[in-house]
């Protein structure tokens, strides 16, 4: 649509403007929600010049973000990981009081799960964190029905995830730490806690994996994204990522940072 030297692919323009990650931008294009100079675009590969062309998403003209925002949110259970919800349920964006930039969640965290979630308007970083080839680790604490034995978490049945048993005791009540070492393997009367690390965020992957070994998830909490962790951030609270944290996400260094 534009062959000038300054023209770039449309999905990259949307990503850089903070509208969505590149993969999500491709879906917007396929759905016919993007137009360039009045023409609806539905095919991939179209190029445009963000400085010269009238680019719109859902009828709204594209503007470059004022500045990049990098937000770490502790999502509570019962909140939808999206910008808007047709059922009018509370969304993660509703929790970001005072954030005026158009940020969006990076990846997914299902309605019943809680834990760390990154929101940003930096499309390049969002693409890096979500594309499978980068193998960005995500770690979850899963409170299970029953306690899995060693045969269930020996690494063969749970590949490519890494699983470590944290507790053979019951899942903790709110504000009460669990007791380690309680219960016997495969005892259905007590509830084990496992730490699960995955590198590819397929839909409900952790829950389906635990169901497959006979121990459904009762409660799921994401505790780490790549090098980012924060045990002091309460459900519903958010903070800006530090410059150091953003740099580590961009460079792909996976060593853990100290919790704030």
Q: Which residues are catalytic?
A: 110
Is the distance from CB of 17 to CB of 57 less than 8 angstroms?
no
Q: Which long-range contacts (CB under 8 A, 24 or more apart) does 50-54 make?
A: 50/8, 50/13, 50/16, 50/17, 51/6, 52/2, 52/4, 52/6, 53/1, 53/2
Q: How far apart are CA 161 and CA 139, in angstroms?
A: 10
User: In this structure, are strands 138-144 and 114-120 parallel, antiparallel, or unpaired?
Assistant: unpaired
Residues near 66 by Cβ (< 8 Å), separated by ≥ 6?
A: 101
Question: Residues 93, 145: contact at Cβ < 8 Å?
Answer: no
Give me the torsion for CA of 134, 245, 233, 256, rounded to 10°: 70
Question: Distance between CA 72 and CA 242 in Å, rounded?
Answer: 10
Residue of 83, 148, 141 lying closest to 113 (CA atoms): 141
Q: Is 234 helix (H, G, I), strand (E, B) or coil?
A: coil
Report the alpha-carbon distance of residue 43 to residue 5 in Å, rounded.
Answer: 21
């Amino acid at each position: 649509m534009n062959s000038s030297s300054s023209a770039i692919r449309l999905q990259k323009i949307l990503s850089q403007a903070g509208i969505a990650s590149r993969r999500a931008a491709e879906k917007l294009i396929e759905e016919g929600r993007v137009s360039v100079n009045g023409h609806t675009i539905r095919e991939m590969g179209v190029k445009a010049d963000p400085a010269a062309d009238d680019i719109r998403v859902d009828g709204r003209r594209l503007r470059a973000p004022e500045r990049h925002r990098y937000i770490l949110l502790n999502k509570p259970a019962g909140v939808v990981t999206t910008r808007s919800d047709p059922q009018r349920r509370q969304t993660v964006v509703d929790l970001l009081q005072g954030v005026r930039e158009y940020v969006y969640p990076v990846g997914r965290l299902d309605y019943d799960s809680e834990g760390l979630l990154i929101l940003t308007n930096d499309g390049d970083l969002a693409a890096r964190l979500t594309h499978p080839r980068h193998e960005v680790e995500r770690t979850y604490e899963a409170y299970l029905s029953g306690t899995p034995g060693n045969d269930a978490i020996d690494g063969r049945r749970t590949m490519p995830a890494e699983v470590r048993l944290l507790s053979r005791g019951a899942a903790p009540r709110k504000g009460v730490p669990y007791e380690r070492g309680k219960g016997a393997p495969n005892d259905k009367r007590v509830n084990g806690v496992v730490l699960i690390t995955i590198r590819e965020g397929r839909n409900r992957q952790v829950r389906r994996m635990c169901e497959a070994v006979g121990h459904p998830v009762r409660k799921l909490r994401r505790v780490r994204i790549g090098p980012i962790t924060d045990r002091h951030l309460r459900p519903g609270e958010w903070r800006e990522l530090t410059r150091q944290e953003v740099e580590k996400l961009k460079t792909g260094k996976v060593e853990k940072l100290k919790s704030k």
